[in-house]
Amino acid sequence: MANNNYPQITSVTSEALQAQIRTLLPSQEGFGTDLMAQNVIVPIIDLTSAAEGSSVPENLQTALAFGSQTAFSVIGSTLSLTTTAGFWRLTGNIQVFTGAGGTDGGNITLTDGITNKIIWDVEKNTGASFNSMINQSFDLTIFVGVGESISLASGSNTTLIGSYRQIADSNGVLINPSGFTPQ
């Protein structure tokens, strides 16, 4: 009679699992042995974030920081924020004063130099009463490709104010807030 009290180890030949291991553990990419599975309960210590190269939770990594933020204020004009490829966090507020004369509203646009694409917009409601105010905040994560830029535009009765910072480069490598060094 066979004794089944010993651990059994077998090869796992799933390309999907192998690809996931290579993605999550880049340091193991050249490791040529098949994955192995066993029928023994083994305690697990999750080292995923360290293996991915980041031990900082996303909400901390994208934090606003004095040394990282570039402030902006746009009133009745257009402003190009950045042409640097990568991921950007853009936070702020828009105030639209609906009154006599001038233009009411503002937007955030991505452009490739030929075509503009509005990605966020606030305009005066046609039913808004004379001399009223619209106030709206925003917190956006935007990807800027090579040759693209982010622009802000506001009418003469509109103020766009806030700040922005790069949170990752165009390859997705995270950029920590200024002054922060993870342990």
pLDDT tens digits along 113-130: 899 999 999 887 665 556
Determine which helix (DSSP H) or strand (DSSP E) holds 153, and give its type and residue range. strand 149-154
**CATH 2.60.120.1010 domain locations along the chain:** 59-168
pLDDT higher than 80, residue 90 = yes
The CATH number for 59-168, chosen from 2.60.120.1010, 3.40.190.10, 1.10.230.10, 3.30.1490.20, is 2.60.120.1010
| Percent of the residues in the chain that have a pLDDT greater than 90, as a whole number | 37
Summarize pLDDT for 8-34 with one digit per residue, the tens: 777 777 777 777 777 777 665 555 666
State yes or no: pLDDT of 163 exceeds 90.
yes
Q: Quote the pLDDT of residue 1.
A: 52
How does DSSP assign 70-122, residue by residue? EEEEEESSEEEEE---EEEEEEEEEEEEE-SSS--EEEEEEE-SS-EEEEEEE
Give the tens place of pLDDT for each residue, 49-65: 555 555 667 777 888 88
- Distances in Å between the Cα of 137 and the Cα atoms of 35, 66, 150 are 49, 20, 17
C-beta of residue 67 within 8 angstroms of C-beta of residue 178:
yes
165/62 Cα distance (integer angstroms): 9
Average pLDDT of the chain is 81
